[in-house]
Amino acid sequence: MCGIVGAIAAHDVTPVLIDGLRRLEYRGYDSTGLAVVQTKGALALRRAVGKVARLQEKLHAEPCAGFLGIAHSRWATHGGVTEANAHPHVSEGRIALIHNGIIENYVELKAELCDKGYRFASETDTEVIAHLIHDFVKQGLDLTAAVQTAVRRLSGAYAIVVFDAQIPDRIVVARIASPLVVGLGSDGHYVASDVQALLPVTRRFKFLEEGDVADIRIDRVTIFDAAGRIVDRPEHESSLSADAVERGEYAHYMLKEIYEQPRAIADTLSERIAGDHVLEAAFGPRAGDILPQVQQVHIVACGTSYHAGLVARYYLEQGARIPCSVEVASEYRYRNPVVMPGTLFLAISQSGETADTLAALREAKKLGYVATAAICNVPESSLVREADLVLMTRAGPEIGVASTKAFTTQLAALGLLGLAIAQRRGIDRRLIALYVRQLRRVPEMVEHTLRLDGQIRAWAEHFASKRHALFLGRGPTYPIAMEGALKLKEISYIHAEAYAAGELKHGPLALVDDDMPVVAVAPNNPLLEKLKSNLQEVRARGGRLFVFADPNTGIESSEGVEVIAMPDHIEPLQAPLVYTLPLQLLAYHVAVHRGTDVDQPRNLAKSVTVE
């Protein structure tokens, strides 16, 4: 979603703002802008449609500098992608503001402000906040009080950063339901949507809580809670390295992140397994009390994380013999679900800031669950701070919008959760020990799968000219087919659908012809013979098959059937992780062939902080 950076320092902050935007660009990137105060009352505004590079070109042609400034990368919600709709929005040359989120009551506020004579220059919901704050400043409030008063009138989600060019002694920020972090520097102070944006200037951070307003000066930061009381928020030192977000020798972040998976999965498993069992303490200090009470699990997530949840259902039901339901967060949060005693709520999210997932967690807290749990990749995120039990994936920063290493590390974490619950449910210890051994071997198998890259690249050409593709799987690899289809559509813009192979004859078979490539994942499991029959149904209709198959399945390349042999002896627990990689690589190479923007596909954003 939108990216936010703000700074007040003893030097020109423009380079910090631009670098911060670049580091946040993955959040949203249809337009960008910045505003700085050059001297008291002199506000410089630069905005551009497109990526940060376009803004840099503008700055090159028309330089500006200032000790105080704000910058924004926009992912459009209200109003098209135009320069006028790009942030910052400025009220009468004085109050400049950037915003991430959605103001739901902006129509009524806009009418009120129009009546008062404010002229609107954009179609955004954001501009009302700038005028509203300005209106309170005109009534005699200082900027901090004006922001505190104005936010009480807003409904919706927001992280805002604002300054007054006439009195440039501070930037003021406020947040509800959108992330915002304050960076404590030695020569000034900073704010941003996430810590990555500020790593080159500081490692010391304070995370603002729901409803907080902060008054940020060059030499001090004062935080107020929602009730207006001064509060102290704990300081955190980030251990992320500033170059963790560099692309290195790889052509794209996505490729780099695909190749990082063996390491990331190994990191996620490490220190969480002792001998032949999973350490419950990995889920947090309350795990020992909570896990014995768990009788069933409700999983809620969005996008790729939802697919991880679908795999987890197999782990929990087949492995731990515990009922599990999985649902997309945007549906769950409004469904008023029935919660049976002993149910654990589990949210899965790479970012920990996805608006629907967070709202679902907050809703769940009112519904009588045994506890809430989160599997997440960002330690400082809202989700992690609010859940009772937490298991961190250790994928490291994921920049490519299409999620890869976050997904497989989620699967590894869900494997650990399944085993932790199985241990408490008295499942045979020898079986648990066997599963633990299988999980430990996943990084090495995933590494092996990366060697198929050349063969997969050769397939990509066939897909590049197609408009549709079908993905088939059965059992725990059905969600992997779903994830493969999602990857392909996200980054290559080819329409791709996944079906449980058994459903083929109930509709999608009507679409199959020689122009519709059909991708299948075929591990060697008890469903293999049934899958093979489904593949025959495709062949009989002239469909062209591309199969990732276990070498012992007997599925071989022939007329209209292309087969890539996967590593041998992959167990059902391992298959979802191992079979994901070739599908990621296929989507990647098809997208490269088609010349799309692999890391920042059109219309999509990495972190979706609006509903």
Answer yes or no whether residue 100 interacts with ligand G6P by CB under 6 A: no
Residue nearest to ligand G6P (CB): 303
CA-CA distance, 538 to 303, in Å (whole number)? 28
- What value does the CA radius of gyration of the chain take, rounded to a whole number of Å? 25
CB 405 to ligand G6P: min, Å? 11
Q: Specify the 3-state DSSP secondary structure of 12.
A: coil
Q: Which is nearer to ligand G6P, 9 or 413 (CB)?
A: 413
- For ligand G6P, the closer of residues 316 and 608 by Cβ is 608
The one-letter amino acid code at 277 reads H
Helix pair angle (106-115, 127-138), 10° resolution:
50
Q: Are 139 and 131 in contact (CB under 8 A)?
A: no
Residue choice 304, 330, 524, 574 for contact with ligand G6P (CB under 6 A): 304
Judge contact between 210 and 175, C-beta under 8 A.
yes
Q: In whole angstroms, how close is the CB of 254 to ligand G6P at the nearest point? A: 11
Amino acid at 250: Y
Q: How far is the CB of 259 from ligand G6P (least distance, A)?
A: 18
Question: Do 548 and 576 form a contact (C-beta atoms < 8 A)?
Answer: no
Which residues, at least 6 apart from 405, have a Cβ–Cβ distance to it below 8 Å? 257, 258, 260, 261, 264, 395, 396, 398
Position among 198, 360, 608, 610 found at the interface with ligand G6P (CB under 6 A): 608
* Segment interacting with ligand G6P (CB under 6 A) among 27-35, 132-140, 300-308, 427-435: 300-308
The whole-angstrom separation of Cα 257 and Cα 235 is: 30
Helix (H) or strand (E) holding 164: strand 156-164
Size of the site for ligand G6P (CB under 6 A): 15
Question: From residue 328 to residue 367, what is the string marking binding to ligand G6P with x (rule CB under 6 A)?
Answer: ---------------------xxx--x--x----------
Residue 201 · residue 246 · CB < 8 Å: no
Using the contact rule CB under 6 A, the part of the chain among 88-96, 292-300, 446-454, 599-607 near ligand G6P is: 599-607
Residue whose CB is less far from ligand G6P, 349 or 553: 349
* Nearest CA among 573, 604, 232, 236 for reference residue 432: 573
The CA distance from 431 to 127, in Å, is 60
382 touching ligand G6P, by CB under 6 A: no
CA–CA distances in Å: residue 486 to residues 265, 306, 404: 21, 11, 11
Q: Is 487 one of the binding residues for ligand G6P (CB under 6 A)?
A: no
Q: Is position 69 an interface residue for ligand G6P (rule: CB under 6 A)?
A: no
302 part of the interface to ligand G6P, by CB under 6 A: yes
Taking the least distance from each CB to ligand G6P, the nearer of 66 and 309 is 309
Nearer Cβ to ligand G6P (469/482):
482
Task: For residue 604, state whether it binds ligand G6P (rule: CB under 6 A).
Answer: yes
Q: Does 606 bind ligand G6P (CB under 6 A)?
A: yes
Of residues 398-457, which lie at the interface with ligand G6P (CB under 6 A)? 401, 403
Select from 38-46, 148-156, 231-239, 602-610 the region that touches ligand G6P (CB under 6 A): 602-610
Of 31, 124, 193, 305, which one interacts with ligand G6P (CB under 6 A)? 305
Report helix angle 478-492 to 453-464, nearest 10. Answer: 60
From 206, 256, 489, 606, active-site residue? 606
Judged by CB under 6 A, which stretch of 90-98, 301-309, 499-507, 515-523 contacts ligand G6P?
301-309
Q: How far does Cα 608 stand from its chain's mean position? A: 7
The tokens of 216 are what? 């940020």
> Does the active-site annotation cover 51?
no
Q: Is residue 70 within 8 Å of 139, Cβ to Cβ?
A: no
**Pairwise CA distance, residues 147 & 35, whole Å:** 18
| Catalytic annotation present for 606 | yes
- Min. distance of Cβ 350 from ligand G6P in angstroms? 4
Amino acid present at 164: D
Beta carbon nearer to ligand G6P, 6 or 101: 101
* Beta-strand runs (E) in 503-553: 518-522, 545-549
Q: Which is nearer to ligand G6P, 231 or 604 (CB)?
A: 604
Structure token digits, residue 242: 């500033």
SS (H, E, C) 466-506: CCEEEEEECHHHHHHHHHHHHHHHHHHCCEEEEEEHHHHHH
Cβ at position 590, least distance to ligand G6P in Å: 17
Options 2, 64, 302, 324, the catalytic residue: 2
Active site amino acids: 2, 606
Which residues are near ligand G6P by CB under 6 A? 302-305, 349-351, 354, 357, 401, 403, 604, 606-608
